[in-house]
Structure formats: structure tokens, C-alpha cells
């Protein structure tokens, strides 16, 4: 009787520790778009950007002056919606949103290689800016 109980305890412990490896965790679903911007990603021409975004582009090219203290700060790409690069590769800039009392949701992300991305939904999706 003791040996049966011992085997049941052993089996219960084995199943407890083996279960996470037998059944991988479910992947989180996101309706926010692709996890990474890759070749063939959505693009937007400079002429199609809102006027405020075109103004921000001009400020980026001139090196400022910027209206917000966070402009030029490192963009961490925590959502992993842009190609992975080393920390500090991307910088973020605010695109003014009319009637917004804060920075709003619009940003331009500039890569060290010269690539530019626009988001109007606070990093949920990006479009590569084509000049």
C-alpha cells in the first residue's frame, strides 16, 4: 500500500514539474498589426503625412528646436514593431496633435541609418516614411 502511495506522489510531482514543458504557453494575440515592420511594410509618402508631421520632419532634419523635452529621446522599441536594433538606434519625436492637451499619440521615429517611421496610434502600428 505504501509503495502505491509513494508512486502516486512521485507521479504527481513529475507531472507538476513536466507540464510547463509539455504544453507551451499560449501566444498573446494582438490585433494591433504585425510584430515587426519588415520589407513590404506599409509606407506613407511625405506628402501624405499630416502638416504637423511634415513640420516635425523639417525640425528633425534641422536638429531642432523641438517643442517637447522628450523629443530626441531614445525609443526603446519595446513593442518590437520596428526591426530590432541595439539600444539607442531609434529616437522619437512628437508630432503635434491639434486640440490635444498633452503630447498626443502621433510620433516620428528616426533610425540611426536614416529610416523614418510614422505612428498616429502611439506605437501600435508604424508606416515607413518614403521621401
- Please tell me which residue in 48, 115, 122, 131 is annotated as part of the active site: 122
User: Is 92 known to be catalytic?
Assistant: yes
CA distance 65 to 36: 31
Catalytic residue check, 48 = no
Q: Do 15 and 60 touch, CB atoms closer than 8 A?
A: no
Among 43, 92, 115, 131, the active-site one is 92
If 0-12 CB within 10 Å is exposed, 13-18 middle and 19+ buried, where does residue 128 land? Answer: middle
In sequence order, the 6+-apart residues with CB closer than 8 A to the CB of 110 are: 60, 90, 91, 92, 93, 116
Which residues are marked as active site? 92, 122
Amino acid at each position: 500500500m505504501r509503495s502505491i502511495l509513494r508512486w502516486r506522489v512521485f507521479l504527481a510531482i513529475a507531472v507538476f514539474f513536466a507540464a510547463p514543458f509539455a504544453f507551451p504557453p499560449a501566444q498573446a494575440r494582438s490585433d494591433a498589426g504585425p510584430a515587426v515592420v519588415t520589407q513590404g511594410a506599409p509606407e506613407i509618402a511625405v506628402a501624405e503625412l499630416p502638416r504637423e508631421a511634415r513640420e516635425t520632419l523639417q525640425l528633425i532634419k534641422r536638429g531642432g528646436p523641438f517643442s517637447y523635452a522628450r523629443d530626441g529621446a531614445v525609443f526603446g522599441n519595446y513593442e518590437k514593431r520596428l526591426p530590432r536594433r541595439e539600444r539607442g538606434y531609434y529616437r522619437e519625436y512628437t508630432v503635434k496633435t491639434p486640440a490635444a492637451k498633452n503630447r498626443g499619440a502621433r510620433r516620428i521615429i528616426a533610425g540611426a541609418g536614416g529610416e523614418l517611421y510614422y505612428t498616429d496610434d502611439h506605437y501600435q502600428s508604424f508606416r515607413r516614411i518614403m521621401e
